[in-house]
Structure 1
Amino acid sequence: MITTELKEHVLARWPEKRLVDVRIGLGYTAVRLDDDSVGVAYTFHREAASGCSVFKGKRPLAGRTTTEILDYLESSDPLEAAVGLACANALVNQPQPEHCEGDLLHFLSVGFLDRVGMVGFFGPLVAPLKKRSRELLIFERDVTRADGLLPAAEAFARLPQCDVAVITSTSLMLGQLDRLLEAASGCREVALVGASTPLAPEVFRPYQVTLLSGITVLDGPSVLQVVSEGGGMEFFGDSVRKVNVRV
């Protein structure tokens, strides 16, 4: 699975560090390492266990090594997977010369004859993609978020009919990315999108992914505070930089 390959890639290329702070917010999960690097991943809080203690994993998280916590990338528990992915992103998503700053739409190749399949509802992208493409199909777990959304399960059957695929990287934590990329293997352009995206092109190149669109954290303390207060991308502001990497 891609999560296993991501874990092995990170373990092989980044030295072991220790976690000094972990925030599991309602919108995002954030991990800070002992070199002050911070990574984030989406929190699937609705899928969390019931009760007053929703995280059932290792405690305390602070003080543990990245080697231990990266095992959570392969967890079927969504909160554990979020901690594992945030840890990976704290290591991987550091500024690099090949990173291109800016919005995804500046780098995504979409033409007026293209059918675009979007897995996960990215509100700010909808109107521009509808304008630039022949058709936009949006597959979403919560179809009540907007009009015209299709059930997420339909993506596996309909992505093969698309020319461009825009896929939420949160699918890594749900164990669905392998199947989604298989369904999108015939697309000319395949982008993994969102703050949860690990900017590791070597991992995704064999799967015909062509573009990674994620973030690097510039102001760790500010991001940690936003996460603790239940905020997300709209409140990260200048504390993060949107970056894109051609695969």
Structure 2
Amino acid sequence: MQILAEIVNNLPLARVKDVFVGVFDIAVESYKLGIATTVTEEILPHQGIQNSVPLTDMNVQELAKYAFSQNWLEASLGLAAINSALPKYEQQARQINAKKLIERYGVNRKVGIIGHFPFVDNSQNKFSELMVFEKDRQVGDLSEKMIPEKLPQADVVAITSTSLTNHSLEFILEHVAPNAYVILLGPTTPLTPVLFNYHIDALCGVYCEEAQLIKRQIREATPYRKMLGKHYITLLKEDF
């Protein structure tokens, strides 16, 4: 977990102001509001958060250390804490969504996607080949067990940021071709240039501009795709 360790060790000791653990997403407010996708255990889906009374007594670096937990709910909380404490890179932030970025670099090339993102299905005809690796496979998806064999063939690789939550990101990156263009995407994505040290070229995540609105929607179990008040942000390695 070298990647997580470097990110967490560089966080400030900001005070945790608020925590919301929702069905679809988790929000932590410290320096700013940060969110992450709620991931739960398959075997023990109702496993709770240890030492959770109260979470707001911790500083954000302490809360972020939950990201190392093997309990995916705790790890989700840790990622939300990380995202709440990262500085904003307003000058470098670009308004490019992940779909456009994948299409730009993937045209007539082999594309590998870790996680099934519905928007990619409409772009399939732009690529010479599309390989989608998914644990809970849909028609046409490849098993995640095929990553070591198939992923090195991809010219462009897009990876769900919940791979940080379940601690699979470093394994995935080990099987990426040296010259591949790599994108980390999703609401859990830490928007930090630290990730550019690990063969990642683009970070596609969100800034939560309307904190009160987003917290209310998380409390009310609004699905992420329908959530208002978030701004899609992309950081590119070339800008740092």
SS in structure 1 at match of 2:139:
coil
Indicate yes or no: 2:108 matched with 1:116: no
Judged with a 3 Å threshold, the aligned counterparts in structure 2 of structure 1 residues 89 and 50 are, in CA distance, closer, same or farther, namely: closer
Q: Following the alignment from structure 1 to structure 2, what is the Cα–Cα distance between the partners of residues 194 and 113?
A: 24
Indicate yes or no: 2:33 matched with 1:38: yes
Partner of 2:161: 169
Number of aligned residues: 235
Q: Following the alignment from structure 1 to structure 2, what is the Cα–Cα distance between the partners of residues 48 and 60?
A: 26
Q: Following the alignment from structure 2 to structure 1, what is the Cα–Cα distance between the partners of residues 14 and 34?
A: 13
SS in structure 2 at match of 1:85:
helix
SS in structure 1 at match of 2:57:
coil
Partner of 1:2: 3
Indicate yes or no: 2:236 matched with 1:246: yes
Identity %: 27
Q: Which of the numbers 60, 72, 83 marks the counterpart of 2:77? A: 83
1:10-67 deviations in Å (ceiling 9; x for gaps): 2xxxx3212122111111111112x5x110111113447455x622343211232112
Q: Following the alignment from structure 1 to structure 2, what is the Cα–Cα distance between the partners of residues 98 and 228?
A: 32
**1:159-198 matches, cutoff 5 A:** 159-198=151-190
TM-score, L = length of structure 1: 0.88
Q: Following the alignment from structure 1 to structure 2, what is the Cα–Cα distance between the partners of residues 9 and 114?
A: 37
Q: Which of the numbers 132, 145, 149 marks the counterpart of 1:157? A: 149
Q: Following the alignment from structure 2 to structure 1, what is the Cα–Cα distance between the partners of residues 25 and 179?
A: 30
SS in structure 1 at match of 2:174:
helix
Q: Following the alignment from structure 1 to structure 2, what is the Cα–Cα distance between the partners of residues 173 and 41?
A: 9
Partner of 2:53: 59
Which consecutive residues of structure 1, in runs of 5 or more, have no partner in the other structure?
none
SS in structure 2 at match of 1:107:
helix
Alpha-carbon shift at residue 226 of structure 1 (Å): 1.6
Moved over 4 A (4+): none
Alpha carbon RMSD of aligned pairs, Å? Answer: 1.9
Equivalent residues of 1:47, 1:78 under 8 A apart: no
Alpha-carbon shift at residue 187 of structure 1 (Å): 4.3
Judged with a 3 Å threshold, the aligned counterparts in structure 2 of structure 1 residues 226 and 45 are, in CA distance, closer, same or farther, namely: farther
Q: Which of the numbers 224, 228, 233 marks the counterpart of 2:219? A: 228
Which consecutive residues of structure 2, in runs of 5 or more, have no partner in the other structure?
none
Alpha-carbon shift at residue 115 of structure 1 (Å): 0.8
